[in-house]
Amino acid sequence: MNLSVKTSAKFISSLSKHVKINEESIHKLGDILIEEIESGRLSPNNFSQTDVHPKSDEPWALDWLFVVDTLNFCFWHKENEEGWKVDGYSGYFALCAAVNRAQKEKVDILNPKFYSIITENQLHKILRSDTKVECPLLPERLKCLHEVGNVLLEQFDGSFENVVKKAENSAANLLNLIIENFKCFKDEAVYKGNKVAIYKRAQILIGDIWACFSNRGIGYFQDINEITAFADYRIPQTLLWYGVFEYSRDLLERLKTNEVLKNGDEVEVEIRGCSIHAVELLNEYATKKTGRE
């Protein structure tokens, strides 16, 4: 059994020196979220409201989600700098647009037989940019595609659908299957001498399946609440804006200089772990206040 993300996040938050969670602001933001949910403006249905996402009735939707979330990491660029763009989109949505463009160009990008041996030049062409800025970390993305493609071919008869079916409609089971079989999804760190779990992309993948299929059919998970928030870099920005996060003076100074926090750095782990725990607290507050327990 893998580490619990919720337990890891609570542990990180309890010892965090550079990131503190403001409980009063949890209540304020929680009230805003309740209003957004009850108005219908915030809904899982938002997944299908963007043209770059697949629809559940498209037979290749599951394979699309797997490939995109395998490649879904680190697209940011510095403020006031030109970034990587595809069909006018930036960041994650540029990735979606690039995969969609490859499909239109008849590239077999969703087939593990293809992407398990894809060359860097082929991937470069698939992810080519509208701008002079190319997709970052291309060798790392290539390595991820090779790894997951070979695992699918060797252990799951070349089908990600077989992985999902093996989970038997359990998000927790699917998380374990992804983490144990696809090592590039095993997002762990050591914090204060203890191993902790973040599992960002693995949980995003499960969340995307759940949202794309509207919690029905192969996308139905009886225990979807086992999945936490995803420790994406946009979340701490939002939490800081609403006063849920309070950063230490040292961390603020480091951020002002545009310092890149290394993966696994103590401060980076605190930001990510506290992000997850803060969202858990927001969820608890909203659930209790609306009586939806």
Active site residues: 232
3 state SS of 195: strand
DSSP string for residues in 234-267: HHHHHHHHTTSEEE-HHHHHHHHTTPPPPTT-HH
In eight-state DSSP terms, residue 1 is -
Residue type (1 letter), 271: I
Instruction: In whole angstroms, give the CA distance from residue 72 to residue 67.
Output: 9
DSSP string for residues in 39-91: HTSS-GGGGGGSTTSPPTTSTTHHHHHHHHHHS-S-----TTS---EETTEEH
- E strands, 124-255, in order: 188-191, 194-197, 245-247
Instruction: In whole angstroms, give the CA distance from residue 292 to residue 205.
Output: 26
Q: Indicate left, alpha or beta for 256 from its phi (over 0: left) and psi (-120 to 50: alpha).
A: alpha
